[in-house]
């Protein structure tokens, strides 16, 4: 790993540190989502029963549990396949759709930047390697860098 990349990763992680715990987030809805769903430090009772071993699996379980009943679309593909999946998803959007995009800072970085600037994507949560998008038009467009 070169020095430029290491410096960039260090500065990015330092800038995300405050928001990861919900500090600086003014929306009560977003604050509760960040603190109690996306970065909940306590283990759920079902982690062992569901064989959820990695933090990414546990986070996805918490998201599904929190948005129970809402359509959740997970895009785990990379590159062109992810772009195609996103375009297909746009045809079936509702206000309560939740979109999860994996690999947001690797192969899908350009797609993630496109989604953040897309006017249909109202609230975006950039969590490093994973991004979450809501499409509720009652909210104000906002991007949270966690």
pLDDT computed for residue 130 by the predictor:
95
> CA 132 to CA 5: how far, in whole Å?
25
Identify whether 117 is part of a domain: yes
pLDDT computed for residue 16 by the predictor:
54
Identify whether 10 is part of a domain: no
> CA 33 to CA 44: how far, in whole Å?
16
Identify whether 129 is part of a domain: yes
Identify whether 4 is part of a domain: no
Identify whether 48 is part of a domain: yes
Instruction: Give helix then strand counts, H and E, for the chain.
Output: 6, 5
- Taking the chain (146 residues) in consecutive chunks of 10 residues, what is each chunk's mean pLDDT? 69 57 77 91 87 93 94 95 95 95 92 96 94 96 91
- Please choose, from the candidates 63, 64, 146, 75, the residue with its C-alpha nearest in 3D space to the C-alpha of residue 115: 75
Query: Do 100 and 37 contact (CB within 8 A), yes or no?
Result: no
Identify whether 3 is part of a domain: no
123-126 vs 72-75, strand pairing mode: unpaired
Task: Tell me the β-bridge partners of 124.
Answer: 133, 143
Q: Which domain holds residue 37?
A: 19-145
Identify whether 126 is part of a domain: yes
Q: What is the total count of domains within the chain?
A: 1
> CA 88 to CA 83: how far, in whole Å?
9
């Amino acid at each position: 790993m070169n020095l430029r990349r290491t410096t960039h990763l260090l500065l990015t992680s330092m800038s995300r540190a405050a928001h990861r715990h919900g500090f600086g987030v003014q929306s009560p809805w977003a604050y509760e989502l960040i603190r109690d769903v996306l970065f909940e430090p306590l283990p759920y009772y079902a982690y062992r029963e569901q064989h959820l071993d990695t933090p990414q699996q546990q986070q996805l379980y918490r998201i599904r549990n929190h948005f129970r009943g809402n359509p959740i679309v997970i895009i785990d593909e990379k590159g062109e396949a992810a772009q195609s999946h996103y375009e297909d998803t746009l045809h079936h959007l509702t206000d309560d759709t939740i979109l999860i995009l994996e690999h947001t800072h690797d192969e899908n970085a350009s797609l993630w930047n496109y989604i953040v600037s897309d006017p249909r994507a109202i609230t975006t949560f950039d969590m490093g390697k994973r991004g979450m998008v809501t499409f509720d038009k009652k909210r104000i467009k906002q991007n949270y860098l966690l």
